[in-house]
Amino acid sequence: MSTPAVPVHELRFRGVLATFAGRAGFYAFAALVAAFFALPMAWLVLAPFEAHPTFVANLVQPTLHNFPVVFKNPDALASLRNSLVLSLGTMALVVLCASLAAYALSRVKLPGRDAVLYILLLFSSVVTGSAAMVPIFVLVYDLHLINSLEGVILVLAGGTLPASIFILKDFMDSVPTSYEESARVFGAGPFRILKDVVAPIVRPGLVVIAVWTIVTVWGSFLTPFILLDKPSLLPASVEIYSYYDVGGSAKLPLIAAFALVYTLPVVVIYLVVQHRYGFRFFGGIKG
């Protein structure tokens, strides 16, 4: 360090100035980021409470009248129920299958298991996205599962399983084996060990994959869109596109309120889980 030819108080003043500029720059950045993410959501929080909602987010005449419109609409309620069935059904299937598979993969050394799992994980993000929409449609058609919620559940479960197994295996890898060995010495078999010992210990992991599956399925559009066309079976993600009047213009009061009712549950459970368990998603992908 060269000796500065500036008086100390001068340096201190510069330091304060630099700190001040730094803080200001920091808050400007934070405010910009916040605005960038918040502004597009304005419509979602304002339009449902506007008596005459348009596509522009504003609140001229606040009202709650849009919500009864949703709750009195049998199709809207049915679609929310369908979404719930799809989400919970897929979640149950995925949690069950992923627990068994992740436990086996975590505890038994099978040749190439990590590579296979990683490839499946990448693969699933490609296939479930869109690349396999045609063969999936044809397959489900051939299985006579078009227009059945079960068909959608099976397809979504197959698509979300690799990621769930991947996440859960990471949780299970961090459970010391002495718990299981202890249970084994006392006479417990594999299923009992999984049920009594491992599953309760990795409960945070189970919650994470359960919530992740619910959120994914709740928002999924393409799979139910191509596999279901019977109006009574449509989930909310697809149903929302049917709210057009005969003239072809959107029924915005219904859409706005429905969008909020449809969005709120996943946002709330997600934020709660995020707050409690932190970001353990894809924890195993450390590069």
Of residues 252-271, which lie at the interface with another protein (CB under 8 A)? 255, 259, 262-263, 266-267, 270-271
Find the part of the chain contacting another protein (CB under 8 A) among 2-10, 11-19, 41-49, 63-71: 41-49
| Tokens 């072809």 -> residue | 248
Residue 50 interacts with another protein (CB under 8 A): yes or no = no
Residue 56 interacts with another protein (CB under 8 A): yes or no = yes
- By beta-carbon proximity to another protein, the closer residue of 109 and 230 is 109
- By beta-carbon proximity to another protein, the closer residue of 13 and 26 is 26
Residue 200 interacts with another protein (CB under 8 A): yes or no = yes
| 4, 17, 20, 26: residue in contact with another protein (rule CB under 8 A) | 26
At 189, is the secondary structure helix, strand, or coil? Answer: coil
Q: Which of 67-74's residues contact partners 24+ apart within 8 Å by CB, and which partners?
A: 67/257, 67/261, 69/253, 69/254, 69/257, 70/254, 70/257, 70/258, 70/261, 73/254, 73/258
Residue 21 interacts with another protein (CB under 8 A): yes or no = no
Contact 284, 118 (CB under 8 A): no
Task: Give the integer Cα–Cα distance in Å for 194 and 189.
Answer: 9
Residue 11 interacts with another protein (CB under 8 A): yes or no = no
Q: Build a one-symbol-per-residue string for 217-236: x at contacts with another protein by CB under 8 A, - elsewhere.
A: -xxxxx---x---------x
| 70, 95, 149, 157: residue in contact with another protein (rule CB under 8 A) | 157
Q: Which helix (H) or strand (E) holds 44?
A: helix 42-46
Q: Which helix (H) or strand (E) holds 80?
A: helix 74-107
| 43, 49, 166, 171: residue in contact with another protein (rule CB under 8 A) | 43
| 189, 242, 244, 272: residue in contact with another protein (rule CB under 8 A) | 189
Report residue 54 as tokens: 């348009």
Contact 279, 170 (CB under 8 A): no
Taking CB under 8 A as the criterion, which residues in 61-120 touch another protein? Answer: 93, 96-98, 100-101, 103-105, 107-110, 120
Residue 138 interacts with another protein (CB under 8 A): yes or no = yes
CA distances from 28 to 19, 21, 32, 36, 41 (A): 14, 10, 6, 12, 20
Task: Give the integer Cα–Cα distance in Å for 213 and 95.
Answer: 9
Residue 60 interacts with another protein (CB under 8 A): yes or no = no
Residue 136 interacts with another protein (CB under 8 A): yes or no = yes
Residue 122 interacts with another protein (CB under 8 A): yes or no = yes
| 76, 91, 161, 233: residue in contact with another protein (rule CB under 8 A) | 161
